[in-house]
Amino acid sequence: AQSVTQLGSHVSVSEGALVLLRCNYSSSVPPYLFWYVQYPNQGLQLLLKYTSAATLVKGINGFEAEFKKSETSFHLTKPSAHMSDAAEYFCAVSERNAGNMLTFGGGTRLMVKP
C-alpha cells in the first residue's frame, strides 16, 4: 500500500525566508503526487501536482515542487514566505489507475513569523 511521510509536523519560518516542506512517498512505480493547502476552517485547495511531465512543477501562490525519483521525494518550496502562507500543507499520492483514492501524509503546519 502507498504511504506518504511528511517530515516535520510543524515548520516555522520568518517572513521573507525560504519555505521547504518535505514529502517522501513509498511506491515502486512513480505515482501521481499532489500538494494541498488547508487554511483554518476551510477545505483543501490544490497547490500543484506532478503527473509525469516536467519534474519541476510550479503551482499557485509562488509554490513549486520537484519530483526526484531516486529519492522518492516531492518537496514543496517557496523562495520567500508571506504571512498569508500560514496554513496546513498536505502531500498526497495516487496510484496511476483511474479511480484510485488519495493517500495523505500527516500534514505540516507552516507558521510564518513577522
Partner 1 sequence: SAVISQKPSRDICQRGTSLTIQCQVDSQVTMMFWYRQQPGQSLTLIATANQGSEATYESGFVIDKFPISRPNLTFSTLTVSNMSPEDSSIYLCSAHLDRPQYGYTFGSGTRLTVV
Applying CB under 8 A, the residues found at the interface with partner 1 are 32, 34, 36, 41-46, 49, 51-52, 90, 92, 94-107
CB of 17 to partner 1, least distance (A): 25
Q: Based on CB atoms, which residue is closest to partner 1, 18 or 60?
A: 60
Q: Based on CB atoms, which residue is closest to partner 1, 28 or 41?
A: 41
What is the spatial distance between Cα 31 and Cα 29, in angstroms, rounded to a whole number? 6
Give strand ranges (E) for 27-86.
Answer: 32-38, 44-50, 56-58, 64-68, 73-78
Residue 19, number of CB atoms within 10 A of its CB: 19
What is the spatial distance between Cα 90 and Cα 70, in angstroms, rounded to a whole number? 22
CB-count burial class (<10 Å; 0-12, 13-18, 19+) for 101: exposed
Q: Based on CB atoms, which residue is closest to partner 1, 18 or 54?
A: 54
Q: Based on CB atoms, which residue is closest to partner 1, 36 or 63?
A: 36
CB of 95 to partner 1, least distance (A): 8
CB of 73 to partner 1, least distance (A): 18
